[in-house]
Structure 1
Amino acid sequence: MTRTRQVIAGIIGVIALFSVGCSGSDSELKSSDTNSTESTTDPSSTAETTKTTAQPKELAPLGSGEAVTIAFAGDASFEGLSTSVVSNTTGLLSAIEPVMSAADISMVNVETAVGTGGTAVNKEFTFQVPAEALDSLDAAGVDVVTMANNHGMDFGKEGFADTLRIKSEGKMPIIGIGKDDTEAYAPYIKEVNGQRIGIIAANDIYPSSMVTWWTAAPGVPGIASAEEAYQEQLAQAVRDLRPTVNTLAVYLHFGTEKETCPNARQKELVDLMISAGADIVVGTHAHRLQGIGYQGDQLVAFGLSNFIFKAPSAAGNASGVLVVTATGRRIDGYDWKPVQIQNLVPVPLSGAAATAGVAAMDALQSCAGLSPTATGPGFEDSAASSSPTTTKKGK
């Protein structure tokens, strides 16, 4: 069930072109997490005297030469689960924990307000879960979540202030939201196997009457936006991050609900993210699976469907976890791990059911306009020698 690509085997030297320090630690992986951005402009500069910081030289394409695995899963609203069940950190997600924990980095979309404050806004569906939901995800091996979606501010400004307080307490790294636009567009960064992995998240789906006050801005709390009026700010965040990481992923909330093929807007945003420097672009919102495959050398997953969700149909309960293997900018391969949502939580499939789940996902590749293998020029270190072509499989 592994999708592979041809790669050039070479001699990978020790790379020390650029180093960025980061705070926090992960004792098991001997790695570090950050949630910060860097300014390249001196705020004290004037019209007469302008000081700028030289842009860092982009890291070598293959970085340390070591592979890293990243697991991406879909929407987690926790709707329908009692507080006691949500707080059951040892049991709620025990079935999927081996899949999420096996990856070096695992990520999901928390599609709900987090906390207890505020009042539900005037929209059809509103979700809110206690902070203990993040503990359940942590116990299942999830490393980082995005809340850049159309439910992150379901309980208004007061509820969102509670969410930001929980974020500041560090229960779980949360990206895509912040006290202002700088924090909302800030990346999650983790170093694994000598490779720096950076992830940015943004939302393209807003309640029509709430776009302005849900969107983070200077001095204004909110969500990182991918909408057309803000997409250049998102693209610039990707460009700024590109030279400082070995592998760059963007997690978007976009698309049309219940559709299994991406719309034109999704394809437009993917093109923009790739041109800005993304190696991986994944997304959710449709509550259906949409195609996974390569666009040039980059990997795209238009729709990861649901993860912890009250879906009323078989199509909404068919989902999975995407596990990507990357060596720097080179995507070595990916695995689709099919799951079935049972009693609102993901349960991995096996045997014939798993085979059918992979085939169903493969069938969505064509309408997504993606390829089963990389079609670009590829990536290799400048120090790599000419060697026979080999096949490297994803985890």
Structure 2
Amino acid sequence: MEGRARHLAGVVACVLVASGCTSPSPAEEPPPPGAATGSTTTTSPKRSGQVTIALGGDVHFEGVADRLLERPGGLGSIARTLRAADVAMVNLETPVTQRGRRDPKELENAGDRYWFRTRPAALDVLADAGVDVVSVANNHAGDYGATGLQDTLAAGRERGVAMVGAGRGEAAYAPHVVEVGELEVAFLAADMVQREGSSDVWTARPGRLGTASARGSNADALVAAVEAASARDQLAVVYLHWGREYQSCPTQSQRLLARDLADAGADVVVGSHSHVLGGTGWVGDAVVGYGLGNFVWYHDRQAASGVLSVTLDSGGAVGKSWTPARISPDDGRPVPLAGASRARAVADWRDRRRCTGLAGERGQAQADDPAYASTVSRVDADLADRMRRSHRPGCPVPLRELRHLRMTHRDFDGRARTGEMVVHRRWADDVTEVFGRLYDAGFPIARMRLVDDYRADDDLSMAANNTSGFNCRRVAGQTSWSQHAYGEAIDINPVQNPYVRPGSIDPPAGRAYAGVRRDRSAPDRLGVIRAGDLPVTAFARIGWEWGGYWESSKDYQHVAAPRRR
């Protein structure tokens, strides 16, 4: 056949992490419980010369979703999309066990610890809906320790659902290989989010059962596994547990790992964990999806869901499509959308690519990913001349007390930009560190210029959606100095985060955002700041406060140091 040659048909796959790759002989004993190894499945192609992969997001069977375990055809009509593919895969966000003890999870915040588990019937529900492979590399696989993870892997073998992303040592990175006609597809998985506990179950160690990790240098083992699959002329699909919760824009770490995996030969790189949908596009010849959202879930607070279908041939990915759905509040299953609702959901899914830096066409590169950089400088004569509108005689802070910052930030299209602002020297280093955290997390900033580029007119700067700091001006409608006049306040994405007072909304373009939900679990919208979002928490770490917490009015764009007395 043309394109990739096919090897190892009918042989158990293994991973070239350190040395050679060997296949177990028929005389060898089966692996001990919990010692996951690569495996091979053969199926008939739905279309000659091609293979279609269906990918869904996070799955567990807590709360109302537990009802699905007693219902024939529990996932309903979404199963048609899953079954239409040659192979379907989701992330199983729960151990399948009734044994074990809760892992302490001492590395997680005490008020944000969750433990999930379910019965083997959950795998029957998934298999009946057409799911063939699940990732167990996530921050709940070890909720009930090694015993729970061992039971999970055993249940997968018993129920005929392939599991990837866990095992003993290097075996955690072993792929499940599916032969579809003359094509072979290797499915791999790894967890990229913060460890929740210190036990080995959160990262597989030599001889110890655990999950595959893609954190830090552990990502090298995953990249090596992809390179090994590519060397065997296998198509490679990588499912990652990654991203920041409730944020659809990818972090710097996600973008870099996606690029590394694509360079290693991955054809599809997708993930979940953020609980919201992320953008999908191309990194060279690889399809990358940064967020598949929830799929089977116990509440509908992040209801947007769906199935990403990717078509591959012997040369790699050739196309993708999105089947949108919404999580049912009654039983947690994803219900496909139709008509106008479907069209709006597909348009929203396409728009989410904006902040990712992903290409819209195959063969194009992801936007550059330079490391964050910042500088802090005194206000020299040239800059003082530029600032003659924003600083004038009588201002409460002399120029010598101000500092000029230049900082890397992401724009709304996910591209790295260099912006500038002026703040008080007391806060200069802290502010650059905060914006470094925003950059690494992928939080987008529409633009960042001195207010003097807008004649130091706050209305013009807000209308341009400009993120800015110092401006020697009074509080709107008052005679007292604004905190901006001291260089101790910053306005972030004013259009998406307007200043809302009784009878007025500034800027006027922010009216569309004045009434949007801003609680932590509210739907993610590009550039919008919600309670608990990184701009709020990062500035809180340096002692600054968010105007979205004000009582009489809401200045959602505004973060500032404690008011001067």
TM bucket, shorter chain: 0.7 to 0.9
Distance 1:17 1:280 in 2: 19
Distance 1:359 1:156, change over 3 A: same
After alignment, is 223-232 or 237-246 more displaced?
A: 237-246
DSSP 3-state at the match of 1:251: strand
TM-score (structure 2 length as normaliser): 0.56
Matched, 1:325 2:311: yes
Residue by residue over 1:117-166, the C-alpha shift from the partner in whole angstroms, topping out at 9 and shown as x without a partner, is 11222341111011110111000011111100000011112222222332
DSSP 3-state at the match of 1:113: coil
2:299 to 311, 314, 320: 311
Matched, 1:338 2:324: yes
Deviation (angstroms), 1:187: 0.4
1:114 aligned partner, one-letter code: V
2:256 to 268, 273, 276: 268
DSSP 3-state at the match of 2:217: coil
2:347 to 355, 359, 369: 359
Residue by residue over 1:276-304, the C-alpha shift from the partner in whole angstroms, topping out at 9 and shown as x without a partner, is 11111001010000000112221100000
Deviation (angstroms), 1:207: 3.3
Distance 1:223 1:211 in 2: 11
Instruction: State the partner residue of 2:123.
Output: 134
Matches within 5 A, 1:125-204: 125-178=114-167, 180-204=168-192
Distance 1:329 1:177 in 2: 29
Distance 1:82 1:239, change over 3 A: closer
Deviation (angstroms), 1:17: 4.4
Distance 1:165 1:65 in 2: 34
Distance 1:323 1:266, change over 3 A: same
Instruction: State the partner residue of 2:363.
Output: 375
1:40 to 9, 15, 20: 20
User: Does structure 1 retain, via aligned residues, the 8 Å contact 2:68–2:125?
Assistant: no
Matches within 5 A, 1:103-118: 103-118=85-100
Deviation (angstroms), 1:213: 4.1
2:125 aligned partner, one-letter code: S
Distance 1:94 1:205, change over 3 A: same
Distance 2:174 2:146 in 1: 20
Deviation (angstroms), 1:37: 4.3
Matched, 1:75 2:72: no
Distance 1:196 1:341 in 2: 33
After alignment, is 246-255 or 301-310 more displaced?
A: 246-255
Distance 1:133 1:170 in 2: 10
Matches within 5 A, 1:220-259: 220-259=208-247
Distance 1:15 1:302, change over 3 A: closer
Report the number of matched residues: 331
Distance 1:201 1:326 in 2: 19
Deviation (angstroms), 1:92: 1.1
Distance 1:328 1:15 in 2: 5
Instruction: State the partner residue of 2:77.
Output: 95
1:150 aligned partner, one-letter code: N
Distance 1:82 1:195, change over 3 A: closer
DSSP 3-state at the match of 2:322: strand
User: Does structure 2 retain, via aligned residues, the 8 Å contact 1:289–1:318?
Assistant: yes
Distance 1:237 1:358, change over 3 A: same
Deviation (angstroms), 1:211: 6.4
Of Structure 1 and Structure 2, the greater helix share is in 2
User: Does structure 2 retain, via aligned residues, the 8 Å contact 1:75–1:307?
Assistant: yes
Distance 1:303 1:93, change over 3 A: same
Structure with bigger RCO (C-alpha 8 Å, 6+ apart): 1
Deviation (angstroms), 1:271: 1.3
Matched, 1:219 2:201: no
Distance 1:18 1:126, change over 3 A: same
Distance 1:175 1:335 in 2: 24
User: Does structure 2 retain, via aligned residues, the 8 Å contact 1:35–1:173?
Assistant: no
2:147 aligned partner, one-letter code: E
Distance 1:355 1:82 in 2: 27
User: Does structure 1 retain, via aligned residues, the 8 Å contact 2:303–2:326?
Assistant: yes
Q: Quote the sequence identity (%).
A: 36
User: Does structure 1 retain, via aligned residues, the 8 Å contact 2:200–2:210?
Assistant: no
Distance 2:65 2:258 in 1: 37
Distance 1:205 1:215 in 2: 11
TM-score (structure 1 length as normaliser): 0.78
Distance 1:121 1:16 in 2: 44
Deviation (angstroms), 1:170: 5.0
Distance 1:101 1:304 in 2: 18
Distance 1:370 1:182, change over 3 A: same
Deviation (angstroms), 1:370: 1.2
1:337 aligned partner, one-letter code: T
Distance 2:263 2:345 in 1: 31
Q: Which has the larger radius of gyration?
A: 2
Residue by residue over 1:307-343, the C-alpha shift from the partner in whole angstroms, topping out at 9 and shown as x without a partner, is 0012352xx1101100001112332211110001013
1:152 aligned partner, one-letter code: A
Instruction: State the partner residue of 2:559.
Output: none
2:306 aligned partner, one-letter code: G
Distance 1:269 1:36, change over 3 A: same
User: Does structure 1 retain, via aligned residues, the 8 Å contact 2:277–2:304?
Assistant: yes
Deviation (angstroms), 1:193: 2.8
Distance 1:14 1:357, change over 3 A: same
Distance 1:105 1:115 in 2: 25
DSSP 3-state at the match of 1:289: coil
Distance 1:140 1:286 in 2: 24
DSSP 3-state at the match of 1:303: coil
User: Does structure 1 retain, via aligned residues, the 8 Å contact 2:6–2:183?
Assistant: no
User: Does structure 2 retain, via aligned residues, the 8 Å contact 1:197–1:245?
Assistant: no
Deviation (angstroms), 1:16: 8.8
Backbone CA RMSD of aligned residues: 2.3
User: Does structure 2 retain, via aligned residues, the 8 Å contact 1:87–1:135?
Assistant: no
2:270 to 282, 289, 294: 282
Instruction: State the partner residue of 1:45.
Output: none
